[in-house]
Structure 1
Amino acid sequence: MGPYQLITIVGPTASGKTPFAAALAAELDTEIISADSRQIYRQMELGTGKDLADYVVDGKPIPYHLIDICDPGYKYNVFEYQHDFFRAYEEIRSKGKLPILCGGTGMYIEAVLKGYRLLDVPQNPALREALKDKTLPELEKILASYKVLHNKTDVDSAQRAIRAIEIEEYYLTQAPEANEYAPLNSLIIGIDIDRELRREKISRRLRTRLEEGMVDEVKNILATGVKPEDLIYYGLEYKYLTLYVTGQLTYEEMINQLEIAIHQFAKRQMTWFRGMERRGLTIHWLDATLPTEEKIKKTISLL
């Protein structure tokens, strides 16, 4: 399949993607492009798992791209990501380096690997008004009726579901004419973590981040003027912590519901990656428990 234009590292949350990507980047003297739909936001550190210390290997900072590029409250989308990705990609390639794409947002990853022609979808006020009183399960049922590829992995709030439906409706009448970007020939490495180990790491990491001040992080973001509903839009930690901070959940309810939601999210991520394989992308899976050096050796042998 070579020569490869890119190395892509995928896997569910808590699988250890980022430390491995950073170690590999250090070995290959290259740079990382993040594929995380929430780490693009400034101030959202603990809730997004933005462990920037992972990007330092043996005291050497590893250059990264598409992290901390937007303010909280902004609704970034896959159309913008695709364009931002290719700008970063060309910049790294211009240095003679092989970029590493790393993250768990399957929609972002597939959009750039396959060069999907995407549209900048505007808001549809009439549609939003018609959907505003529907429950999340009702919205998910509507969304499931569409056949076109769009993000169904991270729809855990009514606001996100309505946006996803809005996108699908727009594509029904505004079909893309041609691909804007060519597909990329990427070596794709998947980090395969045992389900029980993944659950254990997710639970432990959640409690650590709560101890480190994740509630205060949410309070501080709300104090800057970001509306609670806009923070809830980002889902997972920001959804449940905002519901707690605004008095809609108790602390224990927040922890229990959030932990379940993160486990469900990791499962949906794996479903997406398996779907990528069915859609023609080859993923070379590596056991998450392998030593980093062995993972690097196996990856380099595939180049």
Structure 2
Amino acid sequence: MSATKYQMLAIVGPTASGKTTVAAHAAQLLDGEVISGDSRQVYRGMDLGTGKDYEDYVIDGQPIAYHLIDIKEAGYEYNVYEYQQDFLQAYADVRQRGKFPVLCGGSGLYVEAVLKNYKLIQVPPDPARRAELETKELAELTEILKALKEDLHNTTDVETKKRAIRAIEIERYLKDHPEIDRSMPDINSLVVGVKFDRLSRRRRITERLKQRLDAGMLDEVQALLDGGLTPEQLTYYGLEYKYLTLHLVGELTYNEMFKGLETAIHQFAKRQMTWFRRMERQGTPIHWLDGYMPLPEKLERIQDWLNG
């Protein structure tokens, strides 16, 4: 790879945008390795539901190294603090071996925690406050969290009571400890986004959902339940795992599950794009690629931006 002022390439975009393919080929071009920026691909056994697309990491028969995929057991509740620590270790490892890091993901909070040097800490649980919050409904918890956070961008924090209670716990802890200052190293990154127009994105999401169901996504969720995870644990992961679990336990018909999940993924992709646009407004330049652009042209553009 020719010299560049950048220390990392980040490939972002909504679900079903083809960003993994771009990231893997960019890593091959740059003698690099991919570091995942996905909040659910960390879990083993959650493959189809999280869209790991392992085949994207093999190009012309050669494997492309990736990091932060399959590092935790399903059922564990991973968080952005842990991700930041794991990312720093992976990044240092990739750089130390003379490879070029390529961050790839659509989890806006995780990606931004790296790109914008979020100051994160490990927040201990507070049993007394948890017991108090457990008595409240999700709508009330959402209002409490909104009062603690100036802007509630991460709507996954209020998908379930459990998530909302933990988010409130973290915000209260940070307000009670204003002296805490945890800095991240500055990593000069070129951020590239991949996107399709809205109608194309919706079509791709629906096609991809059908493909994953045909490939055995229901069997994957059933295996997780058979392996000892409770329906509540799987519902925690949202989207595919929420809707497929509700179908498997008899609360939704197949058609209800498909339509509900399809709508939820469309809404999720829209929130992802909203997140990336907000990042741009707040000072993170994102160089956008049209998803329909041929892959060689995408890679050429990336190389030009890196060398620019």
Q: How does the TM-score come out when normalised to structure 2? A: 0.93
User: 193, 205, 208: which one pairs with 1:205?
Assistant: 208
Gaps of 5+ in 2: none
Corresponding residue of 2:111: 109
Corresponding residue of 1:270: 273
Q: Alpha carbons of 1:197 and 1:47: their partners in 2 closer, same or farther (altered >3 Å)? A: same
User: 147, 169, 174: which one pairs with 1:171?
Assistant: 174
Kindly state the Cα deviation for residue 73 of structure 1 after the two structures are TM-superposed.
0.5
Kindly state the Cα deviation for residue 148 of structure 1 after the two structures are TM-superposed.
5.7
Matches within 5 A, 1:39-188: 39-132=41-134, 134-147=136-149, 152-155=154-157, 156-175=159-178, 177-188=180-191
Q: Alpha carbons of 1:293 and 1:138: their partners in 2 closer, same or farther (altered >3 Å)? A: farther
Higher deviation after alignment, 171-180 or 2-11: 171-180
Distance 2:68 2:48 in 1: 17
Contact 1:151 1:164 in 2 (8 A): no
Higher deviation after alignment, 17-26 or 210-219: 210-219
Corresponding letter in the other structure for 1:240: Y
Contact 1:119 1:176 in 2 (8 A): no
Where do 4+ consecutive residues of structure 1 move more than 6 Å?
none
Corresponding letter in the other structure for 2:267: Q
Distance 1:207 1:154 in 2: 24
Corresponding residue of 1:245: 248
Distance 1:175 1:249 in 2: 46
Corresponding residue of 1:292: 295
SS of the residue aligned with 1:248? coil
Query: Does 2:283 correspond to 1:280?
Result: yes
Higher deviation after alignment, 59-68 or 263-272: 263-272
- CA-atom RMSD in angstroms: 1.8
Paired residues in the alignment total 302
Kindly state the Cα deviation for residue 157 of structure 1 after the two structures are TM-superposed.
2.9
Distance 2:235 2:28 in 1: 36
Q: Alpha carbons of 1:81 and 1:8: their partners in 2 closer, same or farther (altered >3 Å)? A: same
Contact 1:114 1:182 in 2 (8 A): no
Distance 1:210 1:133 in 2: 37
Q: Alpha carbons of 1:217 and 1:287: their partners in 2 closer, same or farther (altered >3 Å)? A: same
Corresponding residue of 1:221: 224
Distance 1:137 1:198 in 2: 31
Kindly state the Cα deviation for residue 172 of structure 1 after the two structures are TM-superposed.
1.4
Contact 1:118 1:176 in 2 (8 A): no
Kindly state the Cα deviation for residue 192 of structure 1 after the two structures are TM-superposed.
2.0
Kindly state the Cα deviation for residue 295 of structure 1 after the two structures are TM-superposed.
0.7
Contact 1:107 1:151 in 2 (8 A): no
Contact 1:7 1:99 in 2 (8 A): yes
Distance 1:150 1:122 in 2: 22
Higher deviation after alignment, 7-16 or 153-162: 153-162
Corresponding letter in the other structure for 1:262: I
Kindly state the Cα deviation for residue 149 of structure 1 after the two structures are TM-superposed.
7.4
Contact 2:16 2:201 in 1 (8 A): yes
Gaps of 5+ in 1: none
Higher deviation after alignment, 31-40 or 255-264: 255-264
* Deviation by residue 1:71-103 (Cα, 9 ceiling, x = unmatched): 010001111100100101011111222200000
Distance 1:188 1:8 in 2: 5
SS of the residue aligned with 1:31? strand
Distance 2:151 2:119 in 1: 11
* Deviation by residue 1:164-204 (Cα, 9 ceiling, x = unmatched): 22222221112363333222110000112111111111111
Corresponding letter in the other structure for 2:85: H
* Deviation by residue 1:137-173 (Cα, 9 ceiling, x = unmatched): 4433333333367871434333223222222222111
Higher deviation after alignment, 65-74 or 97-106: 97-106
Higher deviation after alignment, 190-199 or 177-186: 177-186
Contact 1:139 1:158 in 2 (8 A): yes
Corresponding letter in the other structure for 1:91: D
Corresponding letter in the other structure for 1:143: L
Q: How does the TM-score come out when normalised to structure 1? A: 0.94
Contact 1:115 1:181 in 2 (8 A): yes
User: 224, 231, 250: which one pairs with 2:234?
Assistant: 231
Counting aligned pairs with the same residue, the percent is: 56
